[in-house]
Structure 1
Amino acid sequence: MWRRIVHAACSFSLAFLCAARQANAQGPTADSGQPPLPGSATSSLGVAPGAGGGSLGNSPGAGQGFLGGRPGASQGRIPAPPSGPGPAELQAPIMAPQQEPIRPFSIPLHGSLDIPAGPEEDGPRDGLTLDAAIDLALRNNLDLRGKFYEIPQAQADILQASLRANPVFYADSQLIPYQRYTNARPAGQQQYDVNISYPIDVSRKRRSRTLVATRAKRVLEAQYQDAVRQTIDDIGLTFVDTLAARQTVRYANKSVQGLETLLSRTRQLHAKGAVSLSDLNRVKIQFRTARLGASDAEVSYQKAKKELAALLNSPTEQAEIIEVRGSIDLQTSPPPPVEELSRLALEVRPDLVAYRLGLKRAEADVGLARANRLQDVYLLFQPYTFQDNSPFGLKSGTSWSLGMSIPLPISNRNQGAIRRAELNVTQTQIEQAGLERRVLTDVEKAVKEYEFTRRAVQELRDEILPIAQQTRDESLRLYTAGETGVVAYINAQLEFNTAVKQYLDTAIRYRRSMLALNTAVGQRIFP
């Protein structure tokens, strides 16, 4: 009975070891170059800064041999040297995040424009403000919600990295005869062994793995904050586009009203014979073109609201009823000096913070690679050895054994992985320096854009528009009085329309420059 149990244990152990070795041989050794598949373990936040130095290494006890057999056995079961990729081989190189340029905006309108009387309307009191839109997006945006799960996954990586190695159970039978032992065919006693091997982490690889995983989580948290920054920027730009489309609708409708009055007056003059039919047709063309432009502006407004609703993860049917509240021509105090903004950006911008944390993670990878120089030492405890002396008519004996297997780091001391991890630290430092320069450039460009558009809006609003409007109104007065033809008025209207469009485009650009400065600094500077 005992022999059958030992034989079964030996067979199970050998089958398990063979399966484990086959599974280890199937691990990937190179990047396939294919994009990550949905549901894969690849981070949706992008490559983590400093991750090129190495992975978390093997799981506790994986890739290590185990000690078995009794001391003095003819075939010692010694841990084999590692043959898989080093701790840095499966890591992708770091890549600096690419800054997206400010999207240009131009009023998609054909037709005339006019400036409504009175101050700009901010919208209904219960309308959606920019702050409310940002809050909704941070709560409901599906892209952000998906990326957030990178953080608890990183916490799970910390748990996995901190796990201790499992002991290894081993059982065998030695000196099994092909035929029964006799005096004519003498041999040693048949022997049955049961032992337990436990790996001892003498180089503290577990602690190094846990440190790498902890710092990798901090990098992911900073990357998530950068994703929030980019989402806020997208929400702000889309919100301003919606305000711009609404303002264009107001300008276009005002123009239609004015041209409708002009068309009525021209018909009266034509009935009296004061203007020709061709002049009447020219006014009709202007009126219909303005009406078509107003319809186009309304369609653009609805499209802008749908884009805003999509970012807010609102139902499509609610896009029609969204009403925004805000102003394009926002009067604010100037921002702090560019030197102060640059200093602030270097301190708080999440993508730069992620690189600083990534540098610490890369340094931890060096420590992990150095810890992997030494494989685990295996302590063997063999509590039971049974020697079958029954073929010789003697009493069978039992015994126990204690031993240790120590891999000798003669050839493989993980030199390549250590060197790669050290080079990755230098690489991360260079990438961080490059990102710092780009951050400073982003701030300087955003400040210059803000200052120029601020001056341009003020000049257009206070100087150019009044002159263009005065010229247009004077041409209208002369035309309705019959002193000039309709061509002179139409030319004045076209000049005024160009000035209004330039003012509206510049005002939108000015409002967007405020948001761009917020994004460049990584902190709210303008409302």
Structure 2
Amino acid sequence: MNKFIAAALFLFVTALSSCVSDHPLVNETSFNMAERDPDARLLKEIRELTLRDSVRIALANNPGYREAHQAVISAKMRYYQALGAYSPVISASFALGDQLYDGSGGSTVPVRDQVFYTYTTVQANWILFDGLNREFNMLSAKRGHRIQQELDENARRLLVRAVAYAYNDILLARDQIRIADADFTFQTKMAREAELKYRAGTTPRSEVLNFRGRANNARENRESAKYHYELARYTLALLMGYVRGELPADITFPEIPEAVKQEMLSVDLYLDLALTNRPDLKAYREKLKISEYELYRAYGSFLPVISLFTNYSYSSNSTQNAGNNPTGFGNFYVEGNSFNYGLAASLTLFNGGIRYNRIREARSELTASELAGAELWLKVVNDVRSAYANCEYSRRIMEICRENQKLMAEQRELVMKEYLAGEIEVTRLNEAQTNLVHSNMALADAVIKLHKAHEQLAAAVHANGTAVR
């Protein structure tokens, strides 16, 4: 018997432990231990990380997004609990006791009674009607499940946008490093040319120092771009859910995609798509239905509650008497059972106006929900219009920057030839090179901002997949 109890306890404890995570990361106090990242396999065999790969890994590995998915499961279980209210409630109880009595019994001879008793009962109760409370509770739970599904999709929408932003920041910073390196190479080359001329006595030393100083400025710009490159990689690693907080050093990224001209649809069409597809708006529509159900439940409190019940009980009583028993009974044993069933109904006639005021409260909450929904609707419209305007603006700026970069590149080449021919001063070359660097930086920034604008618009209308490269 003891072995059976021990085995049952072991199985029970094992079942409980299987429901709990072995070692949640939040409990880890050592970073070196936390480095053992089981999800690193997601980057296995990836050397050039694309935006599509980044989104795929983030959706599989980001803890915040996975948390939203667990909320969907929890809401589904609440819905099942609401369905369970339609089933009868069956319960059982058992009592066992031993009663000792020691008294005079009205005589000088002591009386001792020992009563051993048991009581067993099984009862069932089934609610037939409760003023539609169960129905609206079930419908609310069903809508609550849909809300969490939409919020899960909304978390996906925002995560995809955040990953795209971080990814583009990496591409921009890396291009800024390339531009700074090109500037450093140019300034170093010109410094060597100036050094040779200085030694030949045809150029003052100030021009040598000029190019060396500007080379150091290029190095400074490179360090700044490198710093932002590292920060962007950390941000992307965080969004992708990597424990180390950084991507592997051997991971590379493709070149900035060419910003080809895309035909923009009418803003009204994007607005219709957003108002139809946005999961946060869908979730709020479900929430509004729950507010309606709460009002109906408040009305239902004026209806009666009707239920069926049944009860079976068994009892036994074993009495042992010792001494002078004034009742004249000796030892005896009694047992019996009973069974009953019936129909019960209850109706609250008055409770101080609580139900009436609950209806007024539910009406006010429904109106407040409608107004909050209108505010969210306007926010969605603003998101789409802002993103659409950003796409148009970024497109125009990118075209201007592209044209200007070509002009500045041609200008710098002409000015450099004139400088080497001794026709102009070094200040003019400095100006031309500065203009070229600024135009290169502006073009890279404009291209990335255009890509971000497309991601912003895709997220605003909930069409992330269409903007992912």
Question: Which interval holds the TM-score relative to the shorter structure?
Answer: 0.7 to 0.9
Q: Deviations over 1:235-277 (max 9, x none)?
A: 0101111111111122111112111211111111111112111
Q: Superposition pairs for residues 118-517 of structure 1, below 5 Å?
A: 127-163=48-84, 164=87, 166=89, 196=123, 198=125, 200-203=127-130, 204-314=132-242, 316=244, 318-374=247-303, 376-377=305-306, 405-412=344-351, 414-462=355-403, 464-517=404-457
SS class of match (2:349):
coil
Mark the runs of 5 or more structure 2 residues left unpaired by the alignment. Answer: 1-25, 28-45, 96-102, 107-118, 316-325
Contact 1:349 1:523 in 2 (8 A): no
CA distance in 2, matches of 1:139, 1:399: 59
Shift of 1:368: 3.3
Mark the runs of 5 or more structure 1 residues left unpaired by the alignment. Answer: 1-37, 40-124, 173-177, 182-191
Q: Deviations over 1:147-178 (max 9, x none)?
A: 21111111211122222453577999xxxxx9
SS class of match (2:125):
strand
* Shift in CA distance, 392/244, structure 1 to aligned 2, threshold 3 Å: same
Residue 432 of structure 1 aligns with an amino acid whose one-letter code is G
User: What is the RMSD computed on CA atoms of the aligned residues?
Assistant: 3.5
Q: TM-score, normalised by structure 2?
A: 0.72
SS class of match (2:262):
coil
CA distance in 2, matches of 1:224, 1:195: 44
- Match for residue 520 of structure 1 among 451, 460, 466: 460
CA distance in 2, matches of 1:456, 1:277: 41
SS class of match (1:282):
helix
* Shift in CA distance, 348/378, structure 1 to aligned 2, threshold 3 Å: closer
Contact 2:281 2:376 in 1 (8 A): yes
SS class of match (1:319):
coil
Q: TM-score, normalised by structure 1?
A: 0.65
Contact 2:49 2:251 in 1 (8 A): yes
CA distance in 1, matches of 2:281, 2:243: 35
Of 285-294 and 366-375, deviating more is: 366-375
* Shift in CA distance, 333/399, structure 1 to aligned 2, threshold 3 Å: closer
SS class of match (1:475):
helix
Higher strand share: 2
Contact 1:305 1:322 in 2 (8 A): no
Shift of 1:382: 6.6
CA distance in 1, matches of 2:429, 2:120: 109
Percentage of matched positions with identical amino acids: 23
Shift of 1:231: 0.2
Shift of 1:506: 2.1
Higher helix share: 2
CA distance in 2, matches of 1:519, 1:437: 16
Q: Deviations over 1:392-439 (max 9, x none)?
A: 99xx99987666553332113733333333333322222222222221
* Shift in CA distance, 157/130, structure 1 to aligned 2, threshold 3 Å: same
Map of 1:51 onto structure 2? none
* Shift in CA distance, 216/401, structure 1 to aligned 2, threshold 3 Å: closer
CA distance in 1, matches of 2:197, 2:166: 46
CA distance in 1, matches of 2:443, 2:169: 15
Shift of 1:457: 1.0
* Shift in CA distance, 372/469, structure 1 to aligned 2, threshold 3 Å: same
Contact 2:176 2:441 in 1 (8 A): no
